[in-house]
Structures are given as structure tokens and as C-alpha cells.
Amino acid sequence: MYHCIFSKNMYSELKVDLMKQALLCTKCGSRNYTITISEKHKSERFEAKKHCKVCNEHTLHKASI
């Protein structure tokens, strides 16, 4: 997996439509993190195990729809 660092100007030149999504904790439902995804990957739902500051433990976080 490659991580590329682009400035916002480079994204506009590449004409990539980006949108932000919040990550929800599956245990308490709080929105702790945000991610930026492209429009073409909108149908895929992102999941990651992250630390929830409300639950104070590592729980599964899913992208909100």
C-alpha cells in the first residue's frame, strides 16, 4: 500500500473528488475520527480498530454513511 502526499492544489489539478467521512465507534456511537476518501471509493465502507476516548479502549470504528 502506497501513501502519497498531495497538496490540495495537486488534487484540484488531478480532478479527484474528495469527501470527508466520520468514523463511528461501534460500541458507544461517538464520532472520534474523520477520513478523506475519493468519490469512486464511496461504496466501500472503511473499518479500523482505533482507540475510543469515550470508551477508553480499542474498539472497531466504521465509516458513517
Which residues of the chain fall below pLDDT 50? 1
Query: Where do the structural domains in the chain lie, given as residue ranges?
Result: 19-63
Q: What is the pLDDT of residue 7?
A: 56
Q: Right CATH number for 19-63 from 2.20.28.120, 3.40.50.1000, 3.40.50.150, 3.40.710.10?
A: 2.20.28.120
User: Is 22 within 8 Å of 31 (Cβ atoms)?
Assistant: yes
Q: What is the pLDDT of residue 1?
A: 46
Q: What is the pLDDT of residue 56?
A: 93
Q: Distance (Å, rounded) from C-alpha 17 to C-alpha 11?
A: 8
